[in-house]
Amino acid sequence: YAGLVREGLAEKLPLQAYRAWFDTLPAAVRSRIVARWGEPEKSGMVQGRGDGAWFPIPRLQVGNVVFMPQPPRGDGEKDKERSLYHDTKVPVNHHYLAVYLWARQQFGAHALVHYGTHGTQEWMPGKERAPWVHDDTLLPIGDTPVIYPYIVDDVGEAVQAKRRGRALIISHQTPPFSPAGLHNELNDLHHLVHEWQSLTEGAVRDKTADAILRAAGKLNFEKDVGVTAAQARADFPPFLNKLHDWLHDLALANQPQGMHTFGKTQEDRFRIGTVMQMLGKGYADAAFRFSRTHPEWFSCPPPPPGEGLGVREQRLHSANPASPSPTLPRLRGREQTECRPAKLEADEAEEVFVVDYKDIIHSIPYRLMERVLKEGWALPADAEPKLAAMLDQARAYHAALDAAPEMTAFLDALEGRHIPAGYGGDPIRNPDSLPTGRNLYGFDPSRVPTRAAHEAGREAVDKLIAAYREKHGKAPEKLAFTLWSVETMRHFGVLEAQAFHALGVRPQWDAGGRVNGIELIPREALGRPRIDVVLSATGLYRDHFPNVMRWLAEAVVLAANANGADEADNAVRQASATLKKRLESSGMKPEEAAKWADVRIFSNESGVYGAGIEDAILSSDTWTDEAKLANLYLSRLQYAYGADQKDWGKKLPNLNLYAENLKGVQAAALARSSNLYGMLTTDDPFQYLGGIALAVRHLTGKSPELYIANLREADNPKAETASQFLARELRTRQFHPGWIKGMQKEGYSGTTEMLDSINNFWGWQVTAPDIVRADQWQEFADVYVRDKYKLGMKAYFEHANPAALAQMIERMLEAVRKDYWQADAATVRELASRYRDLAIRRDVRSDNAAFREFVARHAAPAIAVAGYGLDSPAAAAEPAAPTPQTPPPATPDIPDITGMRLDKVVATPPAPPAHLLGLLLLGLTAGVGAWRQGRA
């Protein structure tokens, strides 16, 4: 740290200055912090001794602006940092407070900017609402204003930053989106499918079927669609239909294109792709029909004089009528000769996007929108009114995707000006979330579920029941749902409606659309037995939707007490009766046992957040079996929230009631309504849905079926198996060259997204191994280490972040070491050798001693292996910090999306800011993944 200070990359906060401030805090606050961390002088981060002792404050100062990493929740000692996942009430530590104190007092910041979704300050212990100024969540920031740029698609956590972090939110866009399209072998397979469909019966058709089976088997597509290779061959036509539908599903999936840069509008290519997705499938259908009557709109060179031209182009033509064709605007500087005609060969509308991903910009929907939005063409009079209305809407969406308001709002906030409020959400599902640059707010919780959400929820749970019945031959008797605030704020209560309808209860609304009661659906009208439910709610959901939890708790009581003559199959009543006997046998009085037996909602203790297993799972050397993880999960989420609100947040002293309820769970569901956030984007899905699977397997020896309520299309809710949802996400993102290229253009930040994906995949492997496959682990190795698609992965990681690749390899090898992935010996040897090479050349280190020993045993001898950078005498002799390699060349079909790179510059440190005009940019926590990887 002294070296960083000498180099101008850190400051010193004298321990005496910190101690003087700390001693002004109330005695109760000081004693709570000292009880966990000791006196300030004992902090693991204190440097020097006696009167010369100081806290290091890492920072990069640029004039009146200072960039700082948000300090860790530990206090400089690894054992304390790692032990945090066992402790639900860890108070703020001395170094954390010292960093903020330096910012506020010694630097004299006028404002703190928390940059990057989901930091730590707003999640620390303290009151859920209206925190005390000396609660841990507010103690670091004092009275300094906090400005917080936040992704528009995460309203729930943005509200948390407002409610508990006292932040002013400035919304920013998600990445742009595009249909994923197909690539490489998937294109070949799709062509084979169409070839088979065009052939008559005979030897050629049979050979084509064999080719399809071989190709699908090589890609493990039978597993994707849920059949065995033998079943596919024995019943080929139905398999082919499933395969064809799956290829279409992959091609039409929404794929994020790189990342969004705050305040920077995406170039038109990406804006057009996002607008197409916002308009939905109906636009592609209408564009397809238009192409059949107006093929000239999709041609190159342009159409004959005067045909299909907008007003501007007709004027240009009139000025020179002798010209054989009008002069059309060029596309971003490209000559007209570079224009490729749109592909018109598709014989149905859905096929227009089932093409190679590089050809999406030559598709019919894209070309039509490009003509209208970029070139100013006007639709002819005979165009469908529906298409004209869609393109009018497209103009509005295109304008709303201007990101300039983000920076304007940010600067206005720094000047103390009013920031207009706005509701957020996924811009594809909810275009009203645009434009960004607004102060996000949450909607009225009393409207959950809305009438529309209730209808969608009824449909969704019926589909889930049907999917379970198809596999198991009968309907489920007990379901588990995991409730998230961020999801509810997107779908307005669809998952809650599923729980209500499973119980056979429906909400009642007043004239203003607010839920003001619930009523039991008669058994005859319900048409099936009542299904028991268990609900796990995140700590954020507990804070934001206590009213909905109350209605759900009362719904359980209603269902459990439905005792008509036709209720003999009432699973809710049966479960409550069983629990009541269990509680009475433990010594509880009958009336108390009856009350607790009807509890089905569980969450964290009040003031505590998180399932607590994400860091534990990543610390794979701290556990040898899953029982420790399951017990950690059950201990964190055992706090009950039943119909009697006096008992909210309590747990039973001698019995884990949550565990008792989970023992009968047959299936569990999680909602996904965001087009950006999937199963691998963050660690939350495996913590909560995976946590249920982990706990049920620990308690009963059998994992429940896992389902995703896919609500990405608001008018078409689906119930999908978690395994298929995960497989689609991998195929259209992590294993898709288009997604990878987009991440490569982001430099360092792209590597953290890739690393987060494999870490979260590992989380699913541990919590729900039934939905993870060995071939998917192998694909990670083939794509990212062996560079299956020839994307220059080695050069990319070497240039942007070699440690990220090393950590990805470590996660793969940990899957092997802990017997989750039975990789072949050659793959293990190659991965271990590649890791050792990175460790030697790039000074990469792992705290996992078992992993280090595993690498030492399996790495190849020191020989050169061309193309993979494996250990060799030459490699070992290379300097620790070689000259960075040239990054892989930009692919011509994707424009550069450059990230930021910080290089050390030898210069005189700038003078301290005058008159306290400093602006502090605090907490480059690198959006979702970078901060989480850092703490892991």
pLDDT score of 82: 56
- How sure is the predictor about 349, in pLDDT bands with cuts at 50, 70 and 90? confident
pLDDT per position as a tens digit, 40-60:
999 999 999 889 999 999 999
N residues, the chain: 936
3-state secondary structure of 284: helix
> Average pLDDT, stretch 459-473?
95
At 235, phi and psi to the nearest 5?
-130, 70
Q: Which stretch of 1-10, 79-88, 403-412, 441-450 has the lowest confidence by average pLDDT?
A: 79-88
Instruction: Output the 3-class SS for 617-632.
Output: HHCCCCCCCCHHHHHH
**Mean pLDDT, rounded, for 702-717:** 93
Banded model confidence at residue 361, pLDDT cuts 50, 70, 90: very high
Q: According to the model, what pLDDT value does residue 126 have?
A: 86
Residue 919: φ, ψ to 5°: -115, 125
Give residue-wise pLDDT tens across range 822-855.
Answer: 999 999 999 999 999 999 999 999 999 999 999 9
Q: Which helix (H) or strand (E) holds 459?
A: helix 451-472
Average pLDDT over residues 298-312: 53
Region 414-436: what's the mean pLDDT? 95
Ranges 329-338, 522-531, 579-588, 602-611: which has the least confidence: 329-338
Q: What is d(CA 650, CA 646) in angstroms, rounded to the nearest whole number?
A: 9
* DSSP SS3 for 744: helix
φ, ψ at 726 (rounded to 5°):
-65, -40
Q: What percent of the chain has pLDDT over 70?
A: 86
Q: Among 702, 682, 851, 699, which Cα is nearest to 768's?
A: 702
Reported as a single tens digit per residue, the pLDDT across 625-648 is 899 999 999 999 999 999 999 999
At 383 the pLDDT is: 95
Count of C-beta atoms within a 10 Å radius of residue 431: 18
Residue 536 tokens read as 């796990």
pLDDT of 576 above 80:
yes
The model's confidence at residue 397, banded by pLDDT at 50, 70 and 90, is very high
Q: Residue 817: which pLDDT band, with cuts at 50, 70 and 90?
A: very high
Burial 491-518, CB ≥16 within 10 A → b, else e: bbbbbbbbbbbbbbbbbebeeeebbeeb
CA 540 to chain centre: 16
At residue 79, does pLDDT exceed 80?
no
Q: How confident is the model at residue 77 (pLDDT cuts 50, 70, 90)?
A: low
The answer to whether 922 and 113 have CB atoms below 8 angstroms apart is: yes
Query: What pTM was estimated for this model as a whole?
Result: 0.88
d(CA 352, CA 369): 14
Query: Does pLDDT of 263 surpass 60?
Result: yes
Provide the mean pLDDT of the chain: 88
Hey, which bits of 661-736 come out as E strands?
667-672, 705-710, 718-721
Cα–Cα distance for residue pair 607/89, rounded to 1 Å: 8
Read off the pLDDT of residues 166-199 as tens digits, 9 standing for 90 and up: 999 999 999 999 999 999 999 999 999 999 999 9
pLDDT-derived band at 83 (thresholds 50, 70, 90) equals low
Residue 382: C-alpha distances to residues 97, 290, 439, 687, 914 (Å):
68, 10, 43, 54, 66
Whole-Å CA distances, 347 to 241, 286, 292, 713: 17, 14, 10, 25
Q: What pLDDT is stored for residue 128 in this prediction?
A: 85
CB 657 within 8 A of CB 697: no
For position 816, what pLDDT does the model report?
98
Lowest mean pLDDT among 51-65, 118-132, 475-489: 118-132
Confidence at 800, pLDDT banded by 50, 70, 90: very high
Q: What is the 3-state secondary structure (H, E, C) of 817-848?
A: HCCCCCCCHHHHHHHHHHHHHHHHHHCCCCCC
| Torsion angle, alpha carbons of 308, 312, 315, 319, to 10 | -110
Task: Say if residue 131 is exposed, middle or buried (CB neighbours under 10 Å; 0-12, 13-18, 19+).
Answer: buried
**Above 90 in pLDDT, residue 891?**
no
Give 281's pLDDT tier (boundaries 50, 70, 90): confident
| Cβ neighbours around 463 below 10 Å, total | 18
pLDDT at position 862: 61
Residue 564 pLDDT grade (very low, low, confident, very high; cuts 50, 70, 90): confident
Which range, of 265-279, 395-409, 890-904, averages the lowest pLDDT? 890-904
pLDDT at 302: 56
- Residue 207 host element (H or E): helix 203-218
Average pLDDT over every residue of 334-355:
68
Ranges 51-60, 150-159, 774-783, 875-884: which has the least confidence: 875-884
